[in-house]
Amino acid sequence: MSKNIITIGRDPRCDIQVDARWDTVSNEHADMELRDGALLFFDHSSNGTLINGQRLHNGHVTVFPGDRILLAGTCELPWDRVRAFFPTVGRPTVAARAGLADHRPTAHKTNPLAGGAAEPGRSRPTDRYVPPAAGAAEAAAVPPKPVSPSGGGYTPAEVEAATRRWNWGAFFCSWIWAVCHRTYWPLFILLCGLVPYVGQVCDLVLRVYLGMNGSRIAWNCGKYRDFDHFRRARRVWTIVGIVVFAAGLAVMGLSLYFILSMF
């Protein structure tokens, strides 16, 4: 069942099919290719992929067995499924790398479990898969902790919880926030503003919707480099939204004061 390239996604034609309930995973989310002994992961999805806590979107990187790969930041790709197609890829005993800075494919000609240098009188080990020694299987089975550029790791549950939080920046800035996050349909709501009363109701409905779903929309838009970048931007938008709201109240208060002072 060994292949050089496999496809991953919700499409039934993919080699590794993701359950349809993971609706944030693209139909053809990614490819994995075995090239010169290195295993490359190509993301060409809408929502990107988290690899060891760092976001990959429309790019590629070398991956190693044991790396934590979260499709769309939520659906974990099991390595036993991958190994069914790439049985010759050795399994390292050490948890995966700390970052994705080097995107150049690197050929790994030795099995990490077989040791680095060859013993005297013996040939250097190849990249053929060798079952781990006693105790190594348990060490390799422990998933590595996701690592982010800021030094903090995030589990899928933490990412999921963060994307469900109320977004005050989206609520206060409404369609301006939406356009900045590559969501353009709220612009049509502006047309409803031309209709008395109906416009105010539509604007309120839009703000509530964006407040409830804004964090998920922002994370899935592919604008942010990683989860830390997303969290910092959300805090900034919250501050901007509160300032805009306070300024609006101040303008309304001053306008009301001048109108009343005329009588």
| Helix or strand run (H / E) with residue 246 | helix 227-261
* pLDDT tens string 3-34: 789 999 999 999 999 988 888 899 999 999 99
**117's tokens:** 């240098």
What's the pLDDT at 163?
86
CA distance 117 to 128: 16
Q: Which string of DSSP letters, residue by residue, matches 182-223?
A: T--GGGGHHHHTTSTTHHHHHHHHHHHHHHHHHHHHHHHTT-
Whether the model pTM is above 0.75: no
- Of all residues in the chain, the percent with pLDDT exceeding 70 is 74
Domain boundaries, the chain: 1-151, 164-261
Report, as an integer, the average pLDDT of 201-224: 87
The rounded mean pLDDT for the chain is: 76
Nearest to 96 by CA among 146, 171, 26: 146
CATH fold for the domain made of 1-151: Tumour Suppressor Smad4 (2.60.200)
- Cα 242 from Cα 244, distance rounded (Å): 5
- Write out the H or E segment, with its range, that includes residue 43: strand 38-43
Between 184 and 91, the more confident residue is 184
